[in-house]
Amino acid sequence: MTTAELDVLLRGFGHERKDLTRILHKVQAAYGYIPAPAIRRVAEHLNTTANEVYGVLTFYKAFRLEPRGRHVITACQGTSCHVRGGADVFAEMKKELGIEPGGTTADRMFSLETVNCFGCCAIGPTVVVDSTYYSRVSVADVRSLIALYRKRK
Amino acid sequence: MKPLTHPSQLAGWKARLLEERPAWRKTIVVSNGTCGRASGSLGIIEALGRELDRRGLKETVGLEITGCHGFCELEPNVVILPEGIYYGRLKPEDVPAIIEKTILKDNVVETLAYADPKTGRRYVLRKDIPFFRKQMRLLTEDNLRIDPDRIEDYILADGYQALAKVLFDMTAEEVIREVDLAGLRGRGGAGFPTGKKWQFCRSESADRRYIICNADEGNPGTYMDRSILAANPHSVIEGMVIGAYAMGAAEGYVYVRMEAPQAVRQVTLARDQARQHGFLGKSILGSEFHFDIHIVEGAGAFVCGEETSLMSSIEGRRAVSRQRPPFPAQAGLWGKPTNINNVETWANVPLIIKRGAEWYSQIGTSRSKGTKIFSLVGKIRHGGQVEVPMGITLREVIYDIGGGIKDGQKFKAVQTGGPAGGFLPAEFLDLAIDYDNLVQAGSTMGSGGMIVLDETTCMVDMARHYMHFTQEESCGKCVPCRVGTKQMHDILVGITRGEGKEEDLTRLEELGDSIRVASLCGLGQGAPNPVLSTLRHFRQEYVEHIQHKRCAAGVCKDLAPSSGEEAGPAGRRVKKNRHD
């Protein structure tokens, strides 16, 4: 990431405070996370402090300060998925990957995330890998699902 | 196409579209919402396209890709028109038979028709299936006719006609009166009369007013808002323009949660199309009214569903709630009068204008009018989105529409109202659903989540689940919510691990009462409800957990599942508890 790259990215945005979350979404889409130099540059752009930008980005679940793995597995923790066996699926996922939510495997292949509801409640438990939705996931499916993506690299 | 500059052009456009519409012998409508895609609808669409092409049927048979049809459990599904034949749980290999038998020979593929799991009886037509029969799909039936990518489909379904009527035949006061007389109440949960709310906003003198569509649908187990936005986004946009005219607002915001990417995409596209065709922007339809909409994508904070936090978030700040008054109608977004309504509320507005308050107010109960969309999920046989008239009983929704409990289990309770709602046991099954009845029974309507629970659900675990959620989502500004929910959560975790003490129950009730009274916003005020409600209806289950270290549902792994077995000593756990 260079300053020039960031400047190109910021060109499409205004300098108003209300643009902050949109800018952060954009930065993250470009780099996969919010790199520290970007925080300072975004603050300058909006004529505010890095502290303010940091405060906002750490408030929201969407933004990350660390890069994630190649594939992101997100397990739904919603109520409907929970009563349909989602907790066991999630436990199996943690075991199989050997990481806790928020973590990334040592080979940087997988990151594990949780979400409070994907809104696919009638067909849960729901797991989303990158942007593909998987419905009715059972404990037995977990291993093959991970293997599928491991093969894909 | 140029923007419309006169209301008469709308009728002309519709007539032209009707004329140009291809005369298909049959149309195959594929439900392609989020649940459809998750269940494989894209594969079905591909197979249908291939098969129609291979047989040279592309000119005579239509393939319509639409948003959600509601019956999520049977996704992926198709409806074949004009007959209305319904095939569910399809696999790509079923496609050749559908084309061969139903499209070419007008026969039914029996094995793909819906079979009632109780009686085994097969239903060929969608309208006969019990899941649909008792519904009243005023807002959602058009989903079958609308490809959300095409504004033309919305025009064909009489879209934007209510807007034309409002702009040229009604004063702002008349619009507010109509919405008020219809008896529409906020669908986001609080049930505040929409017409009154609009009047408050209009009465404030200001140089600028804003309106907001709250699409930050965050209650776990609810997804009607994201479905409306993804399936029929123009209905929400039309409702907002009408509201803006009534309140005198020049700018509006749709705040959509990022966990609903399809909704974000469709509402953005619909907004752009509405701008292009003159339904948004300067001089809408040639009138003197100007209004535009901005789309804001959330960033994963549940508290943004609360109106004051939502406004902070639009302003680009941490989404923390603030003291009311002043109410948003007095000082909202950037200190200006602001009106916030939920997606489903906005979608009701064009309907009320088109068909009139008198017609609308005949649907429902004396104090809750119209229909309500529920997400009927959990341990239910036929899960999905159901739209029913207010006043229908819980039993009708759960048993007649939902087909009862899954896997031969017994009904235990239904949870309504999300993390601020409550649990209703079997004795409430004949309760007529409306805002006031649900509150009286100790729960709330909320935004329409209806999570059905069976005997394999532990109520203490459910209370813990919700408290974990609210504690995690608390914005942290006020102490009762930030610290209180943590205390309640820790006590509940203790009970599920077999470390509960006699005095825990009183402690939970005391904490719950103070959090309810002292929290700043709805998130905190409602947070204790799932705990207090389970304590009210399922106290014995807590006692079992505490005194006998038993969890009859077998959910709490550190406790014995039934009375015959010994509870393992709480200290023997080797791995970290999964509830952490």
The verdict on A77 and A145 lying in the same domain is yes
Radius of gyration (C-alpha) of chain A in whole angstroms: 18
Could you give the CA distance from residue B328 to residue B186 in angstroms, rounded to a whole number? 15
Q: What is the pLDDT of residue B567?
A: 47
Minimum Cα–Cα distance from A90: chain B residue: B578
Whether B445 contacts B415, CB under 8 Å: no
Inter-chain contacts counted by CB atoms under 8 A, chains A and B: 142
B233-247 and B224-231 helices cross at what angle (nearest 10)?
Answer: 100
A129 and A137 Cβ atoms separated by less than 8 Å:
no
Instruction: Report d(CA B233, CA B563) in Å as an integer.
Output: 53
Contacts of B380 (CB under 8 A, 6+ apart): A122, B398, B402, B403, B404, B405, B406, B452
What's the pLDDT score for residue B576?
35
Residue among A22, A24, A99, A121 with most chain B CBs within 10 A, to mutate: A121
Q: Which CATH number fits domain B371-454: 2.30.30.90, 3.40.140.80, 3.30.565.10, 3.10.20.600?
A: 3.10.20.600
Instruction: Look at strands B26-31 and B78-81 and give their pairing.
Output: antiparallel
* Dist. CA B272–CA B254, nearest whole Å: 13
- Contact assessment for residue B45 and residue B30, using Cβ atoms and an 8 Å cutoff: yes
A62: closest CA of chain B, how far (Å): 5
Do A87 and A141 belong to one domain? yes
Of the candidates B159, B69, B138, B202, the residue with the CA atom closest to the CA atom of residue B348? B138
pLDDT, mean of each 10-residue run, chain A (153 residues):
86 94 95 95 96 97 94 95 94 97 96 93 94 94 96 81
Q: Which positions ≥6 away from B197 have C-beta within 8 Å?
A: B186, B329, B339, B341
| Residue B201 token pair | 């906003």
- Rounded to two decimals, the pTM is 0.95
Determine the Cα–Cα distance for residues A51 and A58; give it in Å rounded to an integer.
11
Q: Are residues A47 and A13 in the same domain?
A: yes
Would you list the domain boundaries of chain B?
Answer: 24-135, 148-360, 371-454, 459-572
Residues B409-463: tens digit of each pLDDT = 999 999 999 999 999 999 999 999 999 999 999 999 999 999 999 999 999 999 9
Task: Give the tokens for residue B270.
Answer: 């619909």
How many Cα atoms occupy the beta-carbon half-sphere of B439 within 13 Å?
10
- Contact residues on chain B for A16, CB-CB shorter than 8 A: 316
The answer to whether B190 and B444 have CB atoms below 8 angstroms apart is no
CATH architecture of B24-135: 3-Layer(aba) Sandwich (3.40)
B366: helix, coil or strand?
coil
pLDDT of residue B235: 98
* CA B483/CA B495 separation, integer angstroms: 19
How many angstroms separate the CA of residue B68 from the nearest CA in chain A?
11
> Contact A21/B296, CB-based, under 8 Å?
yes
Q: Rounded CA gap, B1 and B226, in Å?
A: 29
**Upper half-sphere CA count for residue B141 (Cβ side, 13 Å):** 13
Alpha helices in B184-330, H assignment, sequence order: 194-203, 224-231, 233-247, 261-276, 307-314
Bridge partners of residue B550, in order along the sequence: B560
Give pLDDT, residue A153. Answer: 66
Candidates B231, B265, B537, B222; CA nearest to B378 is: B222
Closest residue, chain A, to B463 (C-alpha) = A79
Per-position b or e across B315-325, b if 16+ CB within 10 A of its CB: ebbbbbbeeee
Q: Which domain holds residue A110?
A: 71-152
Strand-pair partners of B384: B376
Residue of A nearest to B415 (CA): A79
Fill in the amino acid letter for B148: P
Interface contact A62-B221, CB threshold 8 A = no
Is the Cβ pair B220, A117 closer than 8 Å? yes
Rounded to an integer, what distance in angstroms lies between the CA atom of residue B314 and that of residue B112? 47
pLDDT in the model for residue B433: 97
A114 CB near a chain B CB, below 8 Å?
no
DSSP conformation class of B478: S
Last residue of a domain, one of A36, A59, A82: A59
Token pair 């032209």 is found at: B16
The whole-angstrom separation of Cα B280 and Cα B377 is: 37
- Judged by a CB distance cut-off of 8 A, whether residue A91 touches chain B is yes
Count of structural domains within chain A: 2
Nearest by CB: B300 against A55, A60, A87: A60
Set of chain A residues whose Cβ sits within 8 Å of the Cβ of B383: 80, 121-123
Residues A93 and A117 reside in one and the same domain: yes
Asked if the structure places residue A140 within a domain, the reply is yes
The verdict on B98 touching A (C-beta cutoff 8 Å) is no
Q: Which residue type sits at B73?
A: E
Residue A64, domain member (yes or no): no
Which residue in B has a C-alpha nearest to residue A125's C-alpha? B378
Share of chain A above pLDDT 90, in %: 93
Shared domain check, A51 and A26: yes
Cα gap B75→B424, rounded to integer Å: 29
Whether A75 and A138 share a structural domain: yes
Verify whether the Cβ–Cβ distance A121 to B377 is below 8 Å.
Answer: yes
Q: Which residues of B touch A77 (CB under 8 A)?
A: 220, 469
Q: Under an 8 A CB cutoff, do A61 and B299 touch?
A: yes
Ramachandran angles phi, psi of A72, nearest 5°:
-110, 120
Residues 114-173 of B with CB under 8 A from A: none
Bridge partners for B254 per DSSP: B213, B295
Q: What is the CATH topology of the domain spanning B459-572?
A: de novo design (two linked rop proteins) (1.20.1440)
Averages of pLDDT over runs of 10 residues in chain B (580 residues) are: 93 96 95 94 97 96 96 95 97 97 96 92 96 97 97 98 98 98 95 98 97 96 96 98 98 96 97 98 97 97 95 97 95 98 98 98 97 97 96 98 94 96 97 96 94 97 97 96 98 97 97 97 96 97 97 94 55 37
Sheet with B422-425, side-by-side order of all strands: B384-389, B371-378, B449-454, B411-416, B422-425
- Indicate if A31 and A75 belong to the same structural domain: no
Give the minimum alpha-carbon distance from A56 to chain B in angstroms, rounded to a whole number. 5
Q: Find the CATH number of the domain harbouring A95.
A: 3.40.30.10
Q: Is B466 an 8 Å CB contact of chain A?
A: yes
- A90/A139 same-domain check: yes
Model ipTM? 0.95
Question: From 3.40.50.150, 3.40.50.720, 3.40.50.11540, 3.40.640.10, which CATH number describes the B148-360 domain?
Answer: 3.40.50.11540
Give the sheet arrangement for strand B292-297, strand by strand: B292-297, B251-256, B210-215, B338-342
Between chains, do B315 and A18 touch, taking CB under 8 Å as contact? yes
Facing A123 at nearest CB: one of B72, B314, B378: B72
State both tokens at B132.
Answer: 């649909």
Domain-embedded: residue A51:
yes
Q: Contact at 8 Å (CB) between B220 and B259?
A: no
One domain, residues A34 and A79 = no
How does strand B114-115 pair with strand B122-123?
A: antiparallel
Strands (E), B68-209: 78-81, 85-87, 114-115, 122-123
Write the pLDDT tens digit of every residue in B490-541: 999 999 999 999 999 999 999 999 999 999 999 999 999 999 999 999 999 9
Tokens of B442: 């100790």
Predicted confidence at residue A121, as pLDDT, reads 92
pLDDT for B155 equals 98
Nearest to B318 among A18, A56, A131 (CB): A56
With a CB-CB cutoff of 8 Å, which residues 2-41 of chain B face chain A? 34-35, 37-39
Q: For residue B304, what pLDDT is reported?
A: 94
